[in-house]
Amino acid sequence: MTAIAEPLKSRARPSAAQMARWAISDSLVMTRRNLLVWLRVPAYIVFTVVQPVIFVLLFRYVFGGAIHAPGSGGYVSYLMPGIIGQTAAFATFATAIALAQEATKGVIDRFRAMPMARSAVLAGRLIADSIRMLIVILVIIGVGYAVGFRFQNGVAGAVGMVLLAEIFGITICSVSAFVGLAIKDEESVQAFGLIWIFPLTFVSSAFVPIATMPGWLQVFANNQPVTLVINAMRAMALGGPDFPLNPSLWESLLWLAGILIVFVPLAVWSYRRVG
């Protein structure tokens, strides 16, 4: 390699098309890297796959008998869209923790001193996490089928449900990315995740009909985005008069769009501030 110092003013910059190609290929390299790490660490797989499976079995067989669910499929059919929604939300813990680790270890700094696209660290993380999320959701659906769950609204409904779960998960990922990069300390990130993700997923229609909750709690549960998302998922998976699709679907999409509009810029902003 010859290094000839050019005069300061004349310099060729890569074209916009080249920059875009690099941004895509860099994001894919980062995606592959993140997925490889996930596959190499048994603890991550246990945390992301085994834990939701345990939830399925626990709610199906331990709590299920005590909960009366609407619809014709029994509690297990009511439960599965809820568990899948919760799984998508929980999967984002890993997003926050991984970004917090990379920020504190100085890894992000090193990437930023390289010619790689700046967007690739966040993009690669979100893509890898949504692929991981999809794999986990499919595993859970398989386990659900083994314990009596059935989609009752056709293939399109089933695909729609998985798609909405993914959009929901990616949206929560953007919140987690911001939390991880803003707090940076791994343990605080974990603790903080529990504080906001647990109430949101449990005080919702995910596991029990909201009508069984005390009145003051119903006000919150009925109007928070997780309930809306899960109601829409349930409508797509099960159909029928007990589970109307709207207004849950468009209300949940509005919520998700609103959350993305706020938290994607916040995540990018906190990523720029790292270091």
Partner 1 sequence: MALTNTDFAIEVSALHKSFGKVHALRGVDFAVPRGSVLGMLGPNGAGKTTAVRVLTTLLRPDSGRVIVEGYDVVRDAAAVRRRIGLAGQATAIQLELTGRENLEIMGRLNHMPRSSVRGRAAELLERFEIADAADRPAKTYSGGMQRRLDLAASLIAEPSVLFLDEPTTGLDPYGRLGMWDIIRELVGRGTTLLLTTQYLEEADELANTIVVVDHGEVIASGTPDRLKDQVGGDLLEFTVPDRAQLDDAVRAVAGLSDSAPTVETDAKRIKVPVGSGGSTALVEAVRRLDAAGVVTEDLALHRPSLDDVFLAVTGHAAEAAPDGAAKGQKSPAAGVAS
Residues that bind partner 1 (CB under 8 A): 1, 3-9, 11, 13-14, 22, 25-26, 29-30, 32-33, 36-37, 40-41, 105-107, 109-116, 120, 275
CA distance linking residue 213 with residue 203, whole number of Å? 9
CA triplet 122, 46, 60: central angle to 5 degrees?
A: 110
Cβ pair 193, 179 in contact under 8 A:
yes
User: Of the two residues 26 and 129, which places its CB atom closer to partner 1 in the complex?
Assistant: 26
Residue number with CB closer to partner 1 (22 or 202): 22
* Cα 235 from Cα 61, distance rounded (Å): 23
Min. distance of Cβ 228 from partner 1 in angstroms?
37
**Contact (Cβ atoms closer than 8 angstroms) between residue 54 and residue 66:** no
Smallest gap from residue 275 Cβ to partner 1 (A): 6
Closer residue to partner 1, CB minimum distance, 41 or 217: 41
Residue 174's Cβ-count burial label (10 Å; 0-12, 13-18, 19+) is buried
Give the list of residues 6+ apart from residue 162 with CB closer than 8 angstroms, or none. Answer: 84, 134, 137, 138, 141
Question: Measured from the CB of residue 194, what is the shortest distance to partner 1 in angstroms?
Answer: 25
Comparing CB distances to partner 1, the nearer of 107 and 253 is 107
Q: Least distance from C-beta 128 to partner 1, angstroms?
A: 13
- In the bound state with partner 1, the residue whose beta carbon lies nearer, of 107 and 259, is 107
In angstroms, what is the minimal distance from the CB of 119 to partner 1? Answer: 13
